[in-house]
Amino acid sequence: MASRTLTAQRQRALEILVRLKRLYPEAPCTLDYTTPVQLMVATILSAQCTDERVNKVTPALFERFPDAPALAAAELPEIESLIRSTGFYRNKAKNIQAACRLIMVEYGGEVPSSMEELLKLPGVARKTANVVLAHAYNIHAGVTVDTHVKRLSNRLGLTQHADPIRIERDLMQLLPQPDWENWSIRLIYHGRAVCNARNPACDRCLLADLCPSADPTKVVAAVVSDVAIAPSLEVLSLE
């Protein structure tokens, strides 16, 4: 990006961030876990699966196999049986066990706390690594890009790329580092509640006046004050 264009993009991205924080004041991780290895496992399971479904599966999984040593020594078919409903369960089970075995051999049973080391683990790509680093270690090494973040970042004109790594790089240029992870969570909330893939509700979107993709036939006026109606928690819980 040229310097002037980058500055303008940063200003717009910051305004979007401010409004997202107003809409969604709390931005916790939506996966249930108590340890870094449990967060890693839950995030691996969340691929092509909703967090809600993962959170229904992990209590039994973590009761039976609570840590890396237990998962590393488990019978693979038992892991598969416990995670079957998350989809792609054979590949996920194989990666989870392989990652835990590598954690035992190379990292003393502890999930590593650097992007470089996390990416060496089977089943761990940048999305999973970013989630683990941010929520387990409070290290903001990048921006988590899932399908919602990819779609909304393009709709908002913050990137023109389809590749998640290139989208992540664009967003890292535009956003303050401490907000990299909560940006993703808030954008996911907004994608579920307002800017859905098939029929975005531009008429009740707090970001409409900042969005080059907003449907002008739906947007009566840009709502930028505190009287804007935030999406209800009931709507957020549907997915």
Candidate list 92, 127, 150, 179, residue with the active-site label: 127
Alpha-carbon distance 156 to 179, whole Å?
A: 17
> Rounded to an integer, what is the distance from CA 68 to the centroid of its chain?
23
What count of Cα atoms within 13 Å lies in the side-chain half-sphere of residue 8? 7
Residue pair 132/118 in contact (Cβ under 8 Å)? The answer is: yes
pLDDT bin (cut points 50, 70, 90) of residue 151 is very high
Least confident of 11-25, 65-79, 146-160, 222-236: 222-236
Candidate list 146, 203, 209, 215, residue with the active-site label: 146
Among candidates 232, 228, 201, which has minimal Cα distance to 215?
Answer: 201
- In 3-state terms, what secondary structure has residue 44? helix
pLDDT of residue 158 exceeding 90, the answer is yes
Residue 51 tokens, joined: 């967090």
Instruction: Please report the domains of the chain, with CATH numbers, ordered by start residue.
Output: 3-27+144-236 (1.10.1670.10), 36-137 (1.10.340.30)
For 46-82, the DSSP string reads TTTS-HHHHHHHHHHHHHHS-SHHHHHHS-HHHHHHH
The predicted-structure confidence for 192-237, as pLDDT tens digits, reads as follows 999 999 999 999 999 999 999 998 887 754 444 444 444 433 333 3
Looking at residue 237, its pLDDT comes to: 32
The Cα-based distances of 26 to 17, 89, 127, 233 in angstroms read 13, 31, 21, 12
Residue pair 239/50 in contact (Cβ under 8 Å)? The answer is: yes
Give the start-end residues of each E strand in the chain: none
Residue 159 tokens, joined: 């990137």
Alpha-carbon distance 224 to 21, whole Å?
A: 13
Q: Is 179 a catalytic residue?
A: no
- In 3-state terms, what secondary structure has residue 163? coil
With vertex at residue 34, the alpha carbon angle to CA 190 and CA 77, rounded to the nearest 5 degrees, is 95
The predicted-structure confidence for 87-99, as pLDDT tens digits, reads as follows 999 999 999 999 9
Q: Is the dihedral of CA 133, 135, 136, 137 positive or negative?
A: positive
Looking at residue 226, its pLDDT comes to: 42
Looking at residue 125, its pLDDT comes to: 96
Greater confidence, 120 or 218? 120
What percent of the chain lies above the pLDDT cut of 70? 90
Among candidates 13, 23, 6, 7, which has minimal Cα distance to 188?
Answer: 23
pLDDT bin (cut points 50, 70, 90) of residue 144 is very high
The predicted-structure confidence for 32-74, as pLDDT tens digits, reads as follows 999 999 999 999 999 999 999 999 999 999 999 999 999 999 9
Mean predicted confidence (pLDDT) in 170-195: 95
pLDDT bin (cut points 50, 70, 90) of residue 5 is confident
Q: Is 21 a catalytic residue?
A: no
pLDDT bin (cut points 50, 70, 90) of residue 1 is low
What percent of the chain lies above the pLDDT cut of 90? 85
Phi, psi of 46 (to 5 degrees): -75, -10
Mean predicted confidence (pLDDT) in 85-113: 98
Q: Which H or E element spans position 101?
A: helix 89-106
Residue 234 tokens, joined: 């009931």
Alpha-carbon distance 153 to 161, whole Å?
A: 9
pLDDT of residue 137 exceeding 70, the answer is yes
